[in-house]
Amino acid sequence: MTKKSIKPRERDTIIQALSAGVVPRLGLPHIQVGRAGEIGALVRDIDRIADGGAAVRFVIGDYGAGKTFFAGVVRLIALEKRCVTMHADLSPNRRIHASSGQARALYAEAVNNMSTRNKPEGGALQSITERLVMDAVKEAEEKGAAVENVIDRKLEAVTQFAGGYDFATVLKAYWRGSEESNSALKEAAIRWLRAEYSTKTDARRDLGVRSIIDDENVYESLKCLGCLVRLAGYAGLLVMFDEMAHIYKLQNAQSRKQNYEQLLDIVNDSLQGTTSGIGFVMCGTPDFLLDTRRGVFSYEALQSRLAENSFASGGLVDFSGPVIRLQRLTPEDLLILLSNIRMVFASGDPSKFLVPDEALTAFMEYCNRKIGESYFQTPRSTVKAFVQMLAVLEQNPGARWQELLDRISIAPDAPDDVEPAEESGDGDELTSLRLNP
């Protein structure tokens, strides 16, 4: 077995994240296994985005099946292909459509996580804006033209979108701030792009625009950003939303419907080719998609567009549609995953393995006895227990892995304990029931 050096920072990030049952932000290639067909489909989407097309995918899998990990791998691939990525988790305070700031909060979180290959951990908005402006300045110098005229020409494409004129105005304000060494003006422009203005009055005073990014225009703003990153020289924009089940958990039927209507707009625009250079990846559970009472399939227009290929059954797969059902890891995949984690603990040096090969198979047999097939079908709990066992062995050199196996507490993965989001207004749930005598 050959050595593959693993940086200390990557090693620590991977171990800390996996021991807590979450996906690490660094070092995913060191532990990635399986999902070749699914990843191949998303790579084709990324290539389509880079070619000026659009894409939308719903990644569906049970709790603990690896949706977030899969999305993280896809995000890294997109960065390597010179795309800009944005990602955010939905929550009771963040959703795709809202009227009390939750949609703006989702946008703000996604922008905060905006990443490029040079800034993979987020916070790339200002560097992208700076690159766009500096490219315009350089082009103006080469052609002997006025910088403002070059910027106007470059930004003409974004003005075709709803709200695009204000995006162009804000970017010109950023350029003026650079020219005049006015850091306050540059900061105001970035604040506007991050949706940090809460009133139109303040935005008009600082930047001369009549609108702000709020709940009503989040999707249009994302499309404008998709255009801007391409103008800045990047291949395209990939927007990733996780924990989509929070829409399914909304108590208010009207709120759910409005979120599904927004999803329909995204699906229609992507499938019909009316947007370009932008893609969406949204991760959720089977209930979020398939429940015909509260899920996506309760909205007939979405159900007809997202229905799976009826011929893709009996072991046959189809990755061309907008829905990707994550295939279960095989026991062989999990064995490779455990081996990769062992390699991470050893910093890539096989001579420093904490356990031998037989410990991996013994651990899997133990998990199979404890929780059955779910140990590899939804592997989060299994991986978490294995990492914790290796951590004990690393810190207690005299401990034996055979003795630790009997102490492992492991249970089938279960949904995160998240309360349904409260909504004002009339809902569709029974909140009380009184029987008159």
Whether residues 252 and 207 fall in one domain: no
> Model confidence at 427, in pLDDT bands (50, 70, 90)?
very low
Whether 136 maps to a domain, the answer reads: yes
User: What is the mean predicted confidence (pLDDT) over 108-118?
Assistant: 95
> SS3 letters for 309-329?
CCCCCCCCCCCCCCEEECCCC
Listed residues 269, 301, 325: the one ending a domain: 325
Residue 101 has pLDDT above 80, yes or no: yes
Q: 132 and 114 in one domain?
A: no
Would you say residue 148 lies in a domain?
yes
- Judge if 301 and 169 occupy the same domain: no
Q: How many domains does the chain have?
A: 3
- Of the candidates 307, 255, 278, the residue with the CA atom closest to the CA atom of residue 58: 307
Residue 295, classified by CB atoms within 10 Å of its CB into exposed (0-12), middle (13-18) or buried (19+), is: buried
Q: Which residue has the higher pLDDT, 334 or 437?
A: 334
pLDDT of 250 above 80: yes
- pLDDT bracket for residue 10 (50, 70, 90): confident
Same structural domain, 1 and 28: yes
| 20 within a domain of the structure (yes/no) | yes
**Would you say residue 204 lies in a domain?**
yes
Q: Helical H runs in 91-160?
A: 102-112, 125-143, 147-154
Which alpha helices (DSSP H) does 51-101 contain, by range?
Answer: 67-80
| Mean of pLDDT over the chain | 86
* Boundary-marking domain end, from 180, 215, 250: 215
Taking a C-beta distance cutoff of 8 angstroms, is the pair 123, 84 a contact? no
The residue out of 269, 299, 325 marking a domain boundary is 325
Per-residue confidence (pLDDT) for residue 376, from 0 to 100? 58
What pLDDT was estimated at residue 433? 41
Q: Is the domain of 276 the same as that of 152? A: no
Residue 417 has pLDDT above 50, yes or no: no
If asked whether residues 175 and 46 sit together in one domain, one would say no
The per-residue pLDDT for range 39-75, each reduced to its tens digit, is: 899 999 999 999 999 999 999 988 767 788 888 889 9
| 428 in any annotated domain | no
Confidence at residue 398, expressed as pLDDT on a 0 to 100 scale: 84
Q: Is residue 160 part of a domain?
A: yes
Would you say residue 228 has pLDDT above 80? yes
Start-to-end CA span in the chain (Å): 77
Same domain for 379 and 368: yes
User: What tens digit of pLDDT does each residue of 18-29 get?
Assistant: 888 777 877 778
Same-domain check for residues 202 and 244: no
Residues 20 and 164 placed together within one structural domain of the fold:
no
Structural domain range at position 106: 35-123+235-325
In this structure, are 209 and 247 located in the same domain? no
Closest CA relative to residue 106, chosen from 221, 210, 5? 221
Quick one: pLDDT at residue 34?
A: 75
Percent of the chain with pLDDT strictly greater than 70: 89
The answer to whether 393 and 401 are in contact (CB under 8 A) is yes
Look at residue 116 in the predicted model and tell me its pLDDT: 94
- How far are the Cα atoms of 19, 280, 329 from residue 24, in angstroms, in the given order? 10, 21, 19
Instruction: Indicate whether 295 belongs to any domain.
Output: yes
Confidence of residue 219 (pLDDT cuts 50, 70, 90): very high
What percentage of the chain carries pLDDT values higher than 90? Answer: 50
Q: With 0-12 CB in 10 A as exposed, 13-18 as middle and 19+ as buried, what is 231?
A: buried
Residues 256, 378, single domain; the answer is no
CA distance 111 to 222: 9
From CA 279, how far away is CA 266, in angstroms rounded? 9
Q: Is the pLDDT of residue 425 over 50?
A: no
Do the Cβ atoms of 324 and 15 come closer than 8 Å?
Answer: no
Entry pTM: 0.81
Of the pLDDT bands very low, low, confident and very high (cuts 50, 70, 90), residue 426 is very low
The pLDDT of residue 277 is above 50: yes
User: Mean of the pLDDT values across residues 73-100?
Assistant: 93
Confidence category of residue 372, pLDDT binned at 50, 70, 90: low
Give the pLDDT score at 201.
Answer: 94
Q: Are residues 108 and 182 in the same domain?
A: no
Do the domain assignments include residue 4? yes
Tell me what the mean pLDDT of segment 176-198 comes to.
93
User: Above 70 in pLDDT, residue 203?
Assistant: yes
Residue 401 is predicted with a pLDDT of: 86
Higher pLDDT, 200 or 316: 200
User: Could you tell me if 162 and 218 are in contact, meaning their C-beta atoms sit under 8 angstroms apart?
Assistant: no
Give the C-alpha separation, 137 to 324, whole Å.
43
Partners of 241 in the β-ladder: 88, 282
395: CB partners within 8 A, 6+ apart: none
Contact between residue 85 and residue 115 where contact means Cβ atoms under 8 Å apart:
yes
Residue of higher predicted confidence among 349 and 259: 259
